[in-house]
Amino acid sequence: MSYSDKLIDHYENPRNVGAMDKNDDSVGTGLVGAPACGDVMKLQIKVGVDGVIEDAKFKTFGCGSAIASSSLVTEWVKGKTLDEAGAIKNTDIAEHLALPPVKIHCSVLAEDAIKAAITDYKDKSDAADADSKEEVA
Amino acid sequence: MNEHRANIKLPIYLDYQATTPLDPRVLETMMPFLTETFGNPHSRSHQFGWEAETAVEKARDQVASLINAKPKDVVFTSGATESNNIAIKGVGRFYKDKRNHIVTLSTEHKCVLESCRALQQEGFDVTYLNVQENGLVDLDHLREAITDKTVLVSVMAVHNEIGVIQPLKEIGAMCRERGVFFHTDAAQAVGKIPLDVDEMNIDLMSISGHKIYGPKGVGALYVRRKPRVRIKPIFSGGGQERGMRSGTLAPFLCVGLGEACAIAEKDMGADNERIRNLWNRLYEGITSVNDEIFLNGDAENRYYGNMNLSFAYIEGESLMMGIKDLAVSSGSACTSASLEPSYVLRALGVDVELAHTSIRMGIGRFTTEEEIDYAVTEINENIRRLRELSPLWEMAQEGIDIKSIEWTEH
């Protein structure tokens, strides 16, 4: 299969590889995919008090397209608000990396990973809010 | 990065199960038949035809000699796919009225499985036996599967994906005892392991040219005459090749296959010793510094030109992309349009997770020690890099059982 230069660059030099503390309330973690399907993405976002994503990290088990898709979205989400990040579409990812049709699911998974990380962050901050309200009461 | 780089021509070919390069000695024997000796070997009335016929018959002798067969029992074809089609459909259709049951393995090559499926459409019953975890057929299961209606047992000699050698002699004896024909797809076995159609009671054997350093587009089918195996041909035509395979033979291809067989017969011992050493070097080189690398297929009953490994926590295609200077093939889904991992590895009971992490490497006549050392360095570096990148590896290091997680299958 022949891949675009952008895809190969993200595969060979993946951006923002790593892990953040998933118990930190400012960190949202998305873990999507399944080993049995050959793709697992873990995407983490760190959200500032202003609601802007300050940092993002990923680790991916999957083919080159899956690695490149997740690497790309870590770049894209940084500096975005949660709403802006949540609006990233898989088609944008697929287009940017020129994914072959059989690899479109990799971009879908990357979009799912962003959404899962945002949901995790919101769940945690809702819980934290609830905790702090209880303390006030 | 790699001290051997200067001496090595890249990319390195490690896909000898897909095809092999033409041996220069083979090419040399073929050349005259592409130029001055152009006759039709079936022309009986002049010297041009006689010369071509003599060359083809010499090639037939060479093929026969390698498998201890009578030359007359060897039929030239376009390759192992055609040979498998003729063997299975040809025997099946000839004996259909008396016997209509075939036994084969679920791990056979697609051309065997699809030929069997075609016969099912014509009313045959086919038993697709599962193999053991090591890839070998369970002889008791095979014995139980054979019935009074069984006409043919078809079992691959050396497996293309995992390299295991099936117990041919035992299968042959069982088939002979039950009066069932034994066909073996020996595309990966001929010239690589000793084969003897009499000792092993093989009735039909498929042979490929390009898997044994011969040309592409030619193969052979061994069809036993004593006791006689009859075939309903697939091609209608002038009745060449004892009526089993009509069509003008290509003498340059037949000569190439013959020479490839003659070289294999002469060099098999030395080739295999060298290949075995390279196999050990590659296997030790990878497994001595990495945990959780698994060999697929039996470790002992195998042809050592094949190494199929699962690299836990690393998806196969991503590893292939990393080792881009190495020409290998993947058992993982991501290189195919279907996205299903290898049906062969699944049949062995390899976890679907692990099947996604598999790579097949082939070592052959022209592989060098330097190439293996280069490959080891490349592979190890990419294992390190891709495990660093793998959330599954991270979980494993943290002691999390990946199977305990509820994954959302997509």
**Joined tokens for residue B9:** 């021509």
Contact: B410, A1; criterion CB under 8 Å: no
Residues A1-30 have a mean pLDDT of 95
**Joined tokens for residue A19:** 């892990």
pLDDT in tens, B146-158: 999 999 999 999 9
Taking the CA of residue A84 and the nearest CA in chain B, the distance in Å comes to 25
Mean of per-residue pLDDT scores for chain B: 95
The pLDDT assigned to A107 comes to 96
In whole angstroms, give the CA distance from residue A22 to residue B389: 17
Contact: B409, A19; criterion CB under 8 Å: no
Among A78-92, B5-19, B116-130, B199-213, name the one with the lowest average pLDDT.
B5-19
Contact: B402, A37; criterion CB under 8 Å: no
Residues B263 and B26 sit within 8 Å (Cβ to Cβ): yes
Nearest to B407 among A34, A105, A108 (CB): A34
B400 touches chain A (CB under 8 A): no
**Joined tokens for residue B399:** 């002691």
Residues B164 and B297 sit within 8 Å (Cβ to Cβ): yes
In whole angstroms, give the CA distance from residue A41 to residue B391: 7
Residues A57-84 have a mean pLDDT of 97
pLDDT in tens, B289-299: 999 999 999 99
The pLDDT assigned to B331 comes to 64
Residue B74 φ/ψ, nearest 5 degrees = -105, 125
Nearest to B313 among A19, A61, A105 (CB): A61
Residues A21-26 have a mean pLDDT of 95
Q: How many contacts, defined by CB atoms under 8 Å, are there between A and B?
A: 85
Residues A38-43 have a mean pLDDT of 95
Residues B14 and B374 sit within 8 Å (Cβ to Cβ): no
Report whether pLDDT(B3) > 70.
Answer: no
In whole angstroms, give the CA distance from residue B176 to residue B173: 5
Chain position carrying tokens 């297929």:
B297
The pLDDT assigned to B230 comes to 97
Percent of chain A's residues with pLDDT above 90: 86
Residues B22-33 have a mean pLDDT of 98
Residues A48 and A26 sit within 8 Å (Cβ to Cβ): yes
Among B298-302, B324-328, B329-333, name the one with the lowest average pLDDT.
B329-333
**Joined tokens for residue B405:** 């997680």
Chain B environment of A68 (Cβ under 8 Å): none
In whole angstroms, give the CA distance from residue B282 to residue B374: 10
Chain B environment of A61 (Cβ under 8 Å): 313-315, 389-393
In whole angstroms, give the CA distance from residue B252 to residue B97: 39
Residues B118 and B66 sit within 8 Å (Cβ to Cβ): no
Number of Cβ within a 10 Å radius of residue B203: 25
Residues B315-329 have a mean pLDDT of 94
Residues B176 and B201 sit within 8 Å (Cβ to Cβ): yes
Query: Which residues lie below 8 Å from residue B136, measured CB to CB, with a gap of 6+?
Result: B164, B166, B167, B298, B301
The pLDDT assigned to A82 comes to 97
In whole angstroms, give the CA distance from residue A72 to residue B200: 58
pLDDT in tens, B41-58: 999 999 999 999 999 999
Report whether pLDDT(A137) > 80.
Answer: no
pLDDT in tens, B56-74: 999 999 999 999 999 999 9
Considering B111, B116, B261, B334, which one is annotated as catalytic? Answer: B334
Percent of chain B's residues with pLDDT above 90: 91
Which among A45, A39, A40 is positioned nearest to A57, based on CA atoms?
A45
How many Cα atoms are found within 13 Å in the side-chain-facing hemisphere of A112?
18
Residue B297 φ/ψ, nearest 5 degrees = 95, 155
Within 22-41 of B, beta carbons closer than 8 Å to A belong to none
Report whether pLDDT(B396) > 50.
Answer: yes
Contact: A64, B318; criterion CB under 8 Å: yes
Residues B287-315 have a mean pLDDT of 97
Report whether pLDDT(B8) > 50.
Answer: yes
**Joined tokens for residue B163:** 């390299």
Report whether pLDDT(A3) > 90.
Answer: yes
Chain position carrying tokens 């030099």:
A13
Chain A environment of B359 (Cβ under 8 Å): none
pLDDT in tens, B244-277: 999 999 999 999 999 999 999 999 999 999 999 9
Chain A environment of B402 (Cβ under 8 Å): 35
The pLDDT assigned to B1 comes to 47
Taking the CA of residue A71 and the nearest CA in chain B, the distance in Å comes to 11
Hey, which residues does B219 pair with through a beta bridge?
Answer: B77, B208
Sheet holding B306-311, edge to edge: B293-295, B306-311, B358-362, B329-330
Report whether pLDDT(B182) > 80.
Answer: yes
In whole angstroms, give the CA distance from residue B102 to residue B128: 9
Taking the CA of residue B400 and the nearest CA in chain A, the distance in Å comes to 14
Task: Read off the pLDDT band of B330 (50, 70, 90).
Answer: confident
Report whether pLDDT(B408) > 90.
Answer: no
B335 touches chain A (CB under 8 A): yes
In whole angstroms, give the CA distance from residue B184 to residue A7: 44
In whole angstroms, give the CA distance from residue A68 to residue B405: 25
Chain B environment of A38 (Cβ under 8 Å): 315, 332-334, 339, 341, 356
Residues A11 and B384 sit within 8 Å (Cβ to Cβ): no
The pLDDT assigned to B403 comes to 84
pLDDT in tens, B348-390: 999 888 999 999 999 999 999 999 999 999 999 999 999 999 9
SS (H, E, C) B34-49: HCCCCCCCCCCCCHHH
Torsion angle in degrees (nearest 10) through CA of A10, A15, A18, A22: -110
B311 touches chain A (CB under 8 A): no
The pLDDT assigned to B332 comes to 60
Nearest to B391 among A36, A60, A105 (CB): A60
The pLDDT assigned to B336 comes to 55
Chain B environment of A40 (Cβ under 8 Å): 391-392, 407
In whole angstroms, give the CA distance from residue B7 to residue B11: 12
Nearest to B391 among A37, A38, A61 (CB): A61
Residues B75 and B220 sit within 8 Å (Cβ to Cβ): yes
Contact: A62, B394; criterion CB under 8 Å: no
Q: How far is CA B82 from the centre of its chain?
A: 14
Sheet holding B74-77, edge to edge: B74-77, B219-223, B204-208, B181-185, B150-154, B101-105, B125-129
Which among B104, B79, B91, B101 is positioned nearest to B224, based on CA atoms?
B91
Report whether pLDDT(A65) > 50.
Answer: yes
The pLDDT assigned to A2 comes to 84
Angle between helices B251-287 and B47-66 (to 10 degrees): 30
In whole angstroms, give the CA distance from residue B217 to residue B287: 38
Enclosing H/E stretch for B12:
strand B12-13
Which among B310, B251, B215 is positioned nearest to B60, based on CA atoms?
B251
Sheet holding A53-61, edge to edge: A27-34, A39-47, A53-61
Residues B129-156 have a mean pLDDT of 98
Report whether pLDDT(B119) > 50.
Answer: yes
B341 touches chain A (CB under 8 A): yes
Residues B89-99 have a mean pLDDT of 98
B389 touches chain A (CB under 8 A): yes
Residue B3: helix, strand or coil by DSSP? coil
Task: Give me the sign of the Cα torsion angle A74, A79, A85, A89.
Answer: negative
In whole angstroms, give the CA distance from residue B306 to residue B160: 8
B333 touches chain A (CB under 8 A): yes
B378 touches chain A (CB under 8 A): no
